[in-house]
Amino acid sequence: MAKTSKDNVRMIANNKKARFDFFIEETYEAGISLHGTEVKSLRMGKCSIKEAFVRIEQGEVFIYGMHISPYEKGNIFNKDPLRVKKLLLHRQEIHKLLGQIKQKGYTLVPLMVYFKGSLVKIQIGLARGKKLYDKREDIAKKDQRREAEKNFKVKNLY
């Protein structure tokens, strides 16, 4: 079977801090409602989702704080870089997310923005906040892994 053009995935922006601050329970892929110059700006890789968050309002999903830099050749057609963007999900996925968010401590966070073929997609995660001691645990594990890799590298040099 031949590969279709939709199989090639190219990452635009990644939210590393989300995985540090939250336990990601489930991930969902959503489309984004964008205007032409925003897509051109994304093709150039000018996007940031570090401070972004996702909300469900009146049965629709929106992303706030996602910064898409204005396209330099776009002049009057450029939109506000921080405008609220609508995410495109199936109705049953929205209802499922809404039910899970009502549980204490759950939220939706954007994880990654990418091109899937010619379409712009965003990966959002159903997340539960980490406590300070959870973050310390993660840092300790990362330090142990780094130390082990360093020792392994030193042993292999001799």
pLDDT tens digits for range 31-78: 998 887 888 888 888 888 888 888 898 989 999 988 888 877 767 667
pLDDT > 70 in the chain, percent: 89
Percent of residues, the chain, with pLDDT higher than 90: 12
Asked whether residue 12 carries a pLDDT value surpassing 80, the answer given is yes
More confident residue, 87 or 138: 87
pLDDT for residue 11: 86
Q: What are phi and psi of 82, to 5 degrees?
A: -105, 20
> What is the pTM (predicted TM-score) of this model?
0.73
Sole residue written with tokens 């996007």: 47
What would the mean pLDDT of 77-106 be, rounded to a whole number?
84
